[in-house]
Amino acid sequence: MEKPPLHGIRVLDLTNVLAGPYCSYQLTLFGAEVVKVEVPGSGDLARHLGPDAELNRSGVGASFLAQNAGKKSIELDLKNDAQRAEFEHLVRGADVLLENFRAGVLARLGFDWGRLREINPGLVYCAITGFGQTGPMSQAPAYDQIIQGLSGMMSITGTEDTAPLRVGFPVCDTVGGLMAALSISAALVGRARTGEGCFLDLSMLEASISAMGWAVSHYVISGVRPAPTGQQNATAAPSGTFETADGLLNIAANRQVQFEKLCGLLDRADLMTDPRFADREARKEHRDALNTELTRELRKRTAVEWERLLPAVGVPAARILTVPQAVESEQLAHRGFFTDVPFPGDPGRVVRTSGNGVLVNGAPLRPTGAPPLLGEHNAQTGEFADRWGGGGR
């Protein structure tokens, strides 16, 4: 790849932990120059989060390493007059300002949207919060699990006996970060036409509800209250998790032709003529009976065998992998999904960092450097401001 799509875009990143850093990591992968502005002495809370206590004590916890490769780090105390002036100089030359303080915090430090726009009319300012800048919950603190609960997500995860359950990874932080990156990219495209920046007020709660798809749309459009369905897909059958001779297999025969191909491969043409399974709605109504019949046949072969046979006839199917198995898959290796970068402060070690699943002109997006030590680029603060030219484009 010659120059990635966001080459030359300059981002001031005041964010902590995950949603914000995940957003700015996406911008980094697409080529933006991201400067983390961190609290002196402590920095991003993610520096102290992860399973390795020694890394946490050293300020390079696993949670930090995962989302911050390729960024720069400077320390600024925005309660200090002189350092606020330095920050203002940086804002003057930035394209994007990203923060995830509680609503109103940056304004109380003297940098509300009116002031930021006065400093730099072309600035794209994105504020990520749990609930948005306005409304009765705007001042409430929020972490991923809080949003999972309030969005209704937990209420439909698991089975009727086990719900509500937390999704096994910070999905609301991730969705919030992705929506922020999308919004910033869209705003930059708009600015290229008008020359004007904008203020993006991003609510993680709203972004998460937006991402819940049919679980929300079926209720708001059809009045159907979603219920937890465990490992089954409520919108189709057969679509869910099935037992094989040696393990579990996901099958998603959501289309009529896929159901017929499945029955043919299992040598169960009788299922296609059974009125209980004649079409999608009938199969959904008689899901348990259908699953019993299918499982009887699926237990005759291993999950690996079915994973080979079913997709070959056009039926989506695959085993359920552990995280280590998924990470080591041939598919990810073929696509160049992971990149090894130097470990911060120890070039003899490496950190394995993830991509984002996008190839640009056939090439994967990769971070260009190590995650930064806290304040590693303090001496370059003035250089950033001067090089950025003192005015967003």
Task: Say whether 173 is catalytic.
Answer: yes
Give the C-alpha separation, 236 to 281, whole Å: 8
DSSP designation for 253? -
Paired residues of 309 in beta bridges: none
Give the C-alpha separation, 82 to 135, whole Å: 34
Q: Give which of 294, 299, 304 is closest to 261, Cα–Cα.
A: 294
Residues 21/68, Cβ–Cβ less than 8 Å: yes
Hunting for tokens 């999608």 — which residue is that? 280
Catalytic residue among 161, 173, 201, 340: 173
Give the C-alpha separation, 180 to 354, whole Å: 19
Residue 320, by phi and psi: left (phi above 0), alpha (psi -120 to 50) or beta?
A: beta
SS3 215: helix
Helix axis angle, 204-211 relative to 144-151, nearest 10°?
50
Paired residues of 124 in beta bridges: 96, 198
Q: Max alpha carbon distance in the chain (Å)?
A: 79
Q: Give which of 69, 66, 73, 70 is closest to 50, Cα–Cα.
A: 66
In whole angstroms, how far apart are CA 117 and each of 177, 244, 357? 23, 60, 34
Residues 232/253, Cβ–Cβ less than 8 Å: no
**Total residues belonging to the chain:** 393
CA 10-16-17 angle, 5° bins: 125
Distance of CA 193 to the CA centre of its chain: 28
Q: Give which of 23, 70, 63 is closest to 43, Cα–Cα.
A: 63
How many C-alpha atoms does 134 have within 13 Å on its Cβ side? 2
Active site residues: 173
